[in-house]
Structure 1
Amino acid sequence: MQARRIARELALLSTSQLPANPQRLAAQEFSSILVAAIRTLTSEVQDTLETAATELQRSKDQLLGSEFRAPDPETAKAMVSEAIALTEKTINHLAIAVELPEFIQLANQQEVRAYTQAILGALVSYRADIDQLLTEALVDWQLSRLAQIDRDILRIAVVEMLYLGQPDRVAINEAVELAKRYSGDDGHRFINGVLRRVTDQLKRSPELRTSISEIK
Structure 2
Amino acid sequence: MSLRRKSREYALQMLFQWEMGKQDPSRVEDGFWSNARAQKSTREFANQLFENAAARVAELDPIISTHARNWRIERMSAIDRAILRLAISELRTMSTPPKVVLNEAVELAKKFSSAEAASFINGILDAAMKSFGEKNAD
Q: Name the TM tier (shorter chain).
A: 0.7 to 0.9
CA distance in 1: counterparts of 2:53 and 2:22, whole angstroms: 9
CA distance in 2: counterparts of 1:115 and 1:190, whole angstroms: 26
CA distance in 1: counterparts of 2:65 and 2:75, whole angstroms: 11
So what's the TM-score if we normalise by structure 1? 0.57
Q: Which residue identity does 1:203 align to in structure 2?
A: G
CA distance in 2: counterparts of 1:30 and 1:14, whole angstroms: 7
Identity across the alignment (%): 28
Contact 2:79 2:112 in 1 (8 A): yes
Question: Residue deviations 1:140-176, cap 9 Å, x none?
Answer: 1111111111111111111111112211111000001
Q: Where does structure 1 lack aligned partners over 5 or more consecutive residues?
A: 39-103, 209-216
- Does 1:111 pair with 2:41? yes
Residue equivalent to 1:14? 14
Residue equivalent to 2:111? 181
Residue equivalent to 2:5? 5
Q: Which residue identity does 2:17 align to in structure 1?
A: Q
Q: Where does structure 2 lack aligned partners over 5 or more consecutive residues?
A: none
Contact 1:30 1:113 in 2 (8 A): no
- What is the RMSD computed on CA atoms of the aligned residues? 2.2
Q: Which protein has the larger Cα radius of gyration, Structure 1 or Structure 2?
A: 1
Matched residue pairs, number?
136
CA distance in 1: counterparts of 2:65 and 2:93, whole angstroms: 18
- Does 1:158 pair with 2:88? yes
Contact 1:14 1:34 in 2 (8 A): no
Contact 1:161 1:168 in 2 (8 A): yes
- Does 1:202 pair with 2:137? no
Among residues 54, 60, 63, which one is paired with 1:133 in the alignment? 63
Q: Which residue identity does 2:66 align to in structure 1?
A: E
Cα separation, partners in 2 of 1:190 and 1:115, compared to 1, 3 Å: same
Residue equivalent to 1:34? 33
Cα separation, partners in 2 of 1:29 and 1:134, compared to 1, 3 Å: closer
